[in-house]
A and B are shown apart, each in its own frame.
Chain A
Amino acid sequence: MNTLYPSFLTALELVAGLDPALWSIVRRSLAVSATACALSFGAGLALGAWLGVARFRGRGVVLVLLNTLLALPSVVVGLLVYLLLSRSGPLGWLGWLFSFQAMVLAQAVLVLPVVTALTRQTVEDAERAYGEQLQSLGAGRLLRSLLLAWDTRLALFTVLVAAFGRAISEVGAVMIVGGNVDGFTRVMTTAIALETSKGDLPLALALGMVLLAVVLALHGSVALLQRWAVRRDAAAGAAALTLATGAAA
């Protein structure tokens, strides 16, 4: 209790003073999570959209497995990726263990089920409501999955943000496959864990504040985007009615 206030003040000074050590960790964290999300979003979007419209034997089992993977502990992902990348593992020849690439791979594996499952649910809801109309126009399953994914892009942007939030806030996977090497693989969450154990609370608090600010900024931007879209649609609708009324008159 007695260390909280001074630690908090020092943390604010570190953030405001653009402390080089702190901001290098922040930059690395953002780079790892953004790269992992870009990779998993591409694959997860395609797979989820296809699962949203595809009907095949065993689909129910696939969906149960997919939803189970949503609760996959990050340390388990870290362990699996570690085994894959370790010297004796099938991908050991890549030499990625304790590197930026290893952390990207671990986070991509971690968020892929999130992107896939949420995209599948979004596209499947749209398919249930409108798929038949697209089908009546001549769109096959693949084309429907693409059209519906494109049409629900605002909702899928929320999925992307949720995936990024999951990636940047996890600690177990990057700790195991990255090794928390100072200046190379130390990211915000692993640094917070380390500095807290060392008793360097100001740096841990400063990183925590930045982490929260990043997540807050992302979700805030989604809220603003959705609000903007609603307002734009309302304005466009009113304009269309005015135009139509004018034309009728």
Chain B
Amino acid sequence: MSNPFYVPPEQLVKDRAEFARKGIGRGRAIVAMQYADGLLLLAENHSSTLFKISEIYDSIAFAGVGRFNEFELLRVAGIRHADLRGYMYARADVQAKALANAFAQTLGNIFTHEVKPYEVEVLVAELGGSAGEDRLYRVMYDGTLVEEVGTAAIGGPAEALSDYVRADHDPNQTFDEALKKAQAAFTEVQGSSPSDWEGAVLERGGERRAFRRLEL
């Protein structure tokens, strides 16, 4: 049996991170922000059936960028994780933090143990009883977990998008203002206005299942 060449861990991590970033950079981004009655998630998407944003549980939404098959696997696993918990315990025991942690553990494992890291980033959004209880978790390709406040962006130009939506963010803005600002962020960062949007909201104070797709 031949021994594999020694690769220093720094080099291994760097190569993998570069590979994953390149893959994610090719994809389109997603922006999330609070508004007075909930959370808005907006993406550019040319497909009307292959969604990047979807419902996980009553007040929890999922958004993924990068390779579709990879974040789809995470989405399905996330729904299974949430439904199993809710069934075993109670609906209130399904929380975004545990879910984001599970995504982080999984992506972290894949990053170090698999032949190829996943070229994805995911966002877990949870609607709270009030704006202060809303949660936004961003999970990166290597399992890094970041909690964002009020606004978040994932995908290729996430940094620039994030800077744009964070500036003068007002959690009490109306839905129309939020949508306009999120769309403007894409236009500003990409230099042109996308023609096909995919959007969804988690609406506060309404039904148990807060997730609703937008017709844009």
The answer to whether A and B come from one shared complex is no
By a beta-carbon cutoff of 8 Å, the part of chain A in contact with chain B is none
By a beta-carbon cutoff of 8 Å, the part of chain B in contact with chain A is none
